[in-house]
Homo-oligomer: A and B are copies of this chain.
């Protein structure tokens, strides 16, 4: 308290400047024009400083941006200098949000050439069918709009979902399933229920930004495990766990996001054994397993789970209608019960109408649709890969994905990814910079491109625009 007051006093006297999420700096000028200058660099994504003294740190993009505005491209409609004084107390108001890359990088406004989301273009989705089901429900069962749903999700929909889980080798009854508002909510529910300050969470490196954010928000100690083409390096994981036993291991074993790698069957088994011996939880996030290009991927880890160690998550809305926010979480025993209690406290359950609107499609037409979707996505991926092969400058590397929605590009070290991102933005091209897929947000030389977010021709035009940029940025000075 004394230190805090001393800082406040120094600030009042104009001797120091406090910058939200950054820290304190000696004032460069006493004449009151501190607003115009920028100091320091971000420390986005640092772990170990969960509860922050001066509000949260929303991070920066880790690519050398200095002192950038905390809300790039967003106009809050408030005059910053005017409100700074009135809301000044808020800067000292402690929070538990140490990192929020998702919020900053998930751009819902479509760029002209959108490669940044792992999403499927609406032209490929069965929106007509789902819309018709919704229209019918609204006419025949309007009371669905007034009913609070079962916290666990509609029973009939859960029953239908169990059939699809069986294709992943998972034989569970509807009682072991919960419906969530997308997988994001599923990850969040697990984290809020089981992860607290200092708990050890292991994840692949690189991993899904939204998961990193959620675990960081719970104050977890996140430990990254390197990958190779067979997925997470279980040998290294084992060594790491020797030193620091895991509370939870988060993995996307199939067509991993962002790298695209698939964990081998042998590693899946070893991972499960490890979880059993440490009596810890595995979150198996499985958004892409239906989207294979050649042969079906290995069975899910959950399919081998006898003792309820695996919380399995499968998104349905991602491949049907992302705006419908519909995923299922499968878990057994106490674990699911506790997650259901957390779901109740979060939002009292999701909209029932939407659950029932996707039900008939998932029940009757999902498999046939998925067959068509797979071949459409494969053709896109191949066209993207062909263009890359022809036009990508030398030194750019990638592996052809076996499924999923993304290409994970390794760029030569001479490329400054942040600078490339800015130049691309000016041409209306968006992609995900690799740094946000890492816990510490180090500088990386990777970018993720989704080849499914746009119409095919648009995607190709975007790649043809991006490649020359990439070449230019390689001639820049080495960092």
A interface list, Cβ under 8 A from B: 20, 51, 55-56, 58, 70-71, 75-78, 83, 86-87, 89-97, 100, 102-103, 106, 108-109, 117, 119-120, 122, 125, 127-128, 130-132, 134-135, 138-139, 142-151, 173-176, 181-182, 184-185, 188, 192-197, 210, 213-214, 217, 247, 279, 281, 306-309, 321-325, 332-338, 340-342, 344-354
Interface contact A75-B175, CB-CB below 8 Å: yes
Residue of B nearest to A109 (CB): B150
Q: Say yes or no: A347 contacts B185, CB within 8 Å.
A: yes
User: Which chain B residues border A150 with CB–CB below 8 Å?
Assistant: 108-109
Contact (A181, B148) CB under 8 Å given A143-B122, A194-B95: no
User: In the complex, are the beta carbons of B340 and A90 less than 8 A apart?
Assistant: no
Distance between A313 CB and nearest chain B CB, rounded to angstroms: 13
Which residues of the partner chain B approach A176 to less than 8 Å between Cβ atoms? 76-78
- A130 CB contacts on chain B under 8 angstroms: 145
A199 vs B354: C-alpha distance when bound (angstroms): 37
CB pair B102 A344 closer than 8 Å: yes
Q: Are A90 and B334 in contact (CB under 8 A)?
A: yes
- In the complex, A126→B97 CA distance in Å? 39
Residue in A92, A176, A217 with the greatest tally of chain B CB atoms within 10 Å? A217
Query: A334 to B148, Cβ gap below 8 A?
Result: no
Contacts of A134 in B (CB 8 A): 134-135, 138
B contact residues around A354 at 8 Å (CB): 351, 353-354
A114 smallest CB distance to B (angstroms): 11
What would be 22 A-B contacts, judged by CB atoms less than 8 Å apart?
A: A55-B338, A56-B338, A71-B337, A76-B175, A78-B332, A78-B333, A86-B306, A89-B307, A89-B308, A90-B335, A93-B279, A97-B193, A103-B151, A108-B349, A117-B148, A119-B148, A134-B134, A145-B324, A149-B323, A181-B347, A181-B350, A353-B354
In the complex, how many angstroms separate the beta carbon of A159 from the nearest chain B beta carbon? Answer: 11
Set B217, B333, B335, B345: member contacting A100, Cβ < 8 A: B345
CB distance from A279 to the nearest CB of B (A): 4
User: CB distance A345 to B135 under 8 Å?
Assistant: no
Q: Which residue of B lies closest to A91 (CB)?
A: B334
Please give me the residue from chain B that is nearest to A188 by CB atom: B346
> Among A70, A128, A307, which residue has the most Cβ atoms of chain B within 10 A?
A307
Report whether A196 and B96 are in contact in the complex, using a CB–CB cutoff of 8 Å. yes
B144 and A323 contacting across the interface, CB-CB below 8 Å: yes
A334 adjacent to B175 (CB under 8 Å)? no
